[in-house]
Amino acid sequence: MPERLADKVALITGATGGIGQATAELFAREGARLVVTDLAEKATEELATRLAPAGAEVLAARLDVSSAESWSEVIELTRQRFGRLDVLVNLAGIVDWPGVEDTTQESWDRVIAVNQTGTWLGMKAAMPLLRATGNASVVNTSSVLGLVGSGAAAAYQASKGAVRLLTKTAAVEYATRGVRVNSVHPGVIATPMIQDLLDEQGDRQPDIVRTPMRRAGDPAEVAAAMLFLAGDESSFVTGTELVVDGGLTAY
């Protein structure tokens, strides 16, 4: 079976996280040339080293997604190394759990800067290279908490709701310009970000209790959704929300 991302160059932010690593590994197996980025420079370089045996050509770069200057540097590195960019996966994100009254402005500003502004800056910086291919894909990471309320995580929910609609308006803007733009909305996924809660509460964790499948998802299950939207199999899919949540939002 042909590799689904053969000859494509993909840039992944937040690549050292649970979903990021799973996505990078899957993309490498499917033939992509990769730019893996994160704030943690050493961990990013270690990821690139681990991906090498899969035969992937990998560029590791430090990226602060909240900085326009940092984005410009990474896009220029990508252009110099590969000469093109076919796929942008905006995965970098942080979470803050307090509700409206208990969220500090410092925490609010940081979450918005990374999750919301970082997604916009990524598309803004990468779009010239993406448009030049004539057949590119942007995959933005929102959340089930960008679709429904939880009564908590005010900054996180605001940022992920914004990513959802930013994705839709970008999809319309670039629909005839060679770039598809979609969002993925994970539910409870067993990543380091929530692993402590899962270890402590297991199947009693409230969101798992509310999930019809009664389990947390695996990062690889989200990576598979990323792969579908990144590749040519989704050539008539843009502006959509791909929810990977075990049925959590089906009620």
pLDDT tens sequence across 26-65: 999 999 999 999 999 999 999 999 998 877 899 999 999 9
Question: Could you say which of 136, 156, 174, 245 is catalytic?
Answer: 156
Task: Average the pLDDT over 133-147 and give the result.
Answer: 98
> Pick the residue with more confidence: 202 or 15?
15
CATH number at residue 19: 3.40.50.720
Examine residue 193 and state whether it is found in any structural domain, yes or no. Answer: no
Specify whether 156 is catalytic. yes
Residue 94's domain spans which residues? 9-188+223-242
The pTM assigned to this predicted structure is 0.95
Examine residue 99 and state whether it is found in any structural domain, yes or no. Answer: yes
**Is the pLDDT at 69 greater than 70, yes or no?**
yes
Q: What's residue 130's pLDDT?
A: 98
Number of folded domains in the chain? 1
Examine residue 248 and state whether it is found in any structural domain, yes or no. Answer: no
Examine residue 132 and state whether it is found in any structural domain, yes or no. Answer: yes
Examine residue 181 and state whether it is found in any structural domain, yes or no. Answer: yes
Q: What's residue 83's pLDDT?
A: 98
Q: What's residue 196's pLDDT?
A: 62
**Is the pLDDT at 151 greater than 90, yes or no?**
yes
Examine residue 1 and state whether it is found in any structural domain, yes or no. Answer: no
138: tokens are 């942007």
**Is the pLDDT at 19 greater than 90, yes or no?**
yes
Q: What's residue 52's pLDDT?
A: 87
Task: Average the pLDDT over 209-213 and give the result.
Answer: 86
Q: pLDDT class for 198, splitting at 50, 70, 90?
A: low
Q: What's residue 53's pLDDT?
A: 83
Examine residue 234 and state whether it is found in any structural domain, yes or no. Answer: yes
Examine residue 149 and state whether it is found in any structural domain, yes or no. Answer: yes
